[in-house]
A = this chain, B = another copy of it.
Amino acid sequence: MVRFQSKKLAEEVVVRDPVHGDIHITDQVVLDVLKSKEFQRMRRIKQLGPVSYVFPGATHTRFEHNLGVYELTRKICDIFEQKYPSKTPGDGLWDTDNRLLVECAGLLHDIGHGPYSHTFEHLFGTNHEKIGQRIITDPSTEINRALKQVAPNFPEAVASVIAKTYPNMQVVKMISSQADADRMDYLQRDAYFTGVNYGMFDLERMLRVIRPYQGGICFTNNGMHAVEDYIVSRYQMYQQVYFHRVGRSFEVILHHLLERAKYVYSQGQLQVTPSLAAFLGDSWTLDDYLKLDDGVMETNFSMWRDASDPILADLASRYLDRRPLASVKIDDQTKNLLPKLRGLIKEAGFDPNYYTATNSMYDEPYDAYKPSGKNANSQIELMQDDGSLIELSQLSPLVKALNGTFQGDERFFFPKTMISQSDEPQIFDPLYQDFQKYVKNGELRYLRRPKRKEE
């Protein structure tokens, strides 16, 4: 294993951060990456996309989150160096030579994200992980040039940590596991900026009980309460923030809006900035990708408000002016009603392809803590006095209990006007009355055909 080392700064640079207090930068390479235009671009991409439509404070960007993950890896390295320094190779303790590598990987783990990543990827076939790898390893980027100052193969090493192919699992899991620097930062940060206090956990205490072991990162057994607290916070954030029905409704609108734009563009009628045009026309470069950000997207939407295509113009306005779709919970039984409902919606004048959707929280880019299943190898473990590891839910009745409680939240989205409570004419219209009889207390209900009398 090569030892990567950076020129130290003459004087530490400190960036104020409301979540961690201060971000400390002592390496030239970290400062250079930070100053690169690819990294600065992150300032223009919100961490939670349209969630700020539900929690107005959530305007924080991927820039701060990346810095926060860097700061947490830096702190964990400090702790590991002080408390668990490796003495002989392979002793399962922390090898200090990995510090710079893991710090840079933390800093860059999300560098491939663009605006509205998940929606964008679905529609344009981009992949933020692959793009991230390119931004790090492509000689055209300022980030690549900065990293190469450390060593010619440093960019590839950083990329391999993010790709989880780096051989040292402690390094990989510090930024990719069920309780890693990435999640710890975003849960705290999202809680701070949304104002959802229930999402705050005791980060300081959690760092106090984190430790390395042969196969990765675990926690000392006296830290169970701190880890429980983290899991409960995470549960609350998923329930209250990440799966919020209104936020999801704007993901739906966004998806349909971009889909429609693609169609209208293909008809040759769309006013669009050059960077986005490249994607609508399916021939984009890395440079095009790096020119996208939330503001560019919204500037396009703003121009599309005035488009001649009525669906495009309407969806653009709905997004910019924050006019969400309504939604109801559905299940396997009530799903059968959707064709009927889509028919009514169409009758009311809305194209169901652009004005309805189903969306399940299982589609979301977040996964709950599950000790078995595909992420089994990133489960949380507590080290016992004798060095053995026990998976968290074996020890904590609270966590065990929570694991069973995640349930699907599948929803059907449609125009609010279908169930408007206002005193507008349609509430007496049989079409709307028909629709509304299927909706009760936020759920679809299955109406059985009334039995005929003679039966």
Contact = CB atoms under 8 A, between A and B. Distances in A.
A293 B301 CA distance: 13
Q: How many copies does the complex hold?
A: 4
Interface in A376-405: 385, 397-398, 400-402, 404-405
Contacts of A274: 303
A43 interface: yes
Nearest to A226: B198
B198 A202 contact: yes
A169 interface: no
A64 B60 contact: no
Contacts of A19: 57, 195
A314 interface: no
B61 A59 contact: yes
A1 B294 CA distance: 46
A196 to B, nearest CB: 7
Nearest to A38: B321
A149 interface: no
A240 B224 CA distance: 11
A16 B55 contact: yes
Nearest to A235: B398
27 contacts: A10-B421, A15-B56, A16-B56, A16-B195, A17-B57, A18-B57, A19-B195, A21-B195, A35-B322, A37-B317, A37-B321, A44-B295, A44-B298, A56-B67, A57-B60, A57-B193, A59-B64, A198-B202, A198-B228, A225-B239, A232-B232, A295-B295, A295-B298, A295-B299, A398-B401, A398-B402, A398-B405
Interface of A: 10, 15-19, 21-22, 35, 37, 40, 43-44, 46, 52-57, 59-61, 63-64, 67, 192-198, 202, 204-205, 208, 225, 228-229, 232, 235-236, 239-240, 273-275, 291, 293-299, 302-303, 317, 320-323, 385, 397-398, 400-402, 404-405, 407, 421, 441
